[in-house]
Amino acid sequence: MTTITIELPDDVAQSAQQAGLLSGHTLATIVRELVRDRAARKLQQAIQQFEDRPVSAEELTTSDIQHAIDATRSH
């Protein structure tokens, strides 16, 4: 388990505390969702870029294929 310290403006911290958002469990859930959402957006961007410039099989290099595999695995 990792311990982190964050600095928030007082009003944000108070609002978050009152909403029950500052517990470890809740923060972990929020961070997981944000990480998942960011990964999904990156994947959508990659798909859009690919669709914007379709390439033929002859144009693909092994490096291109590996890059696509690595990008998919990292999300």
| Percentage above 90 pLDDT, the chain | 57
DSSP assignments along 13-66, one per residue: HHHHHHTT--SHHHHHHHHHHHHHHHHHHHHHHHHHHHHHS---TTT--HHHHH
More confident residue, 42 or 57: 42
| Residue extents of the structural domains in the chain | 15-73
**Is the pTM higher than 0.85?**
no
pLDDT value at residue 75: 65
pLDDT value at residue 46: 87
State the average pLDDT over residues 39-64.
86
pLDDT value at residue 58: 83
pLDDT value at residue 30: 96
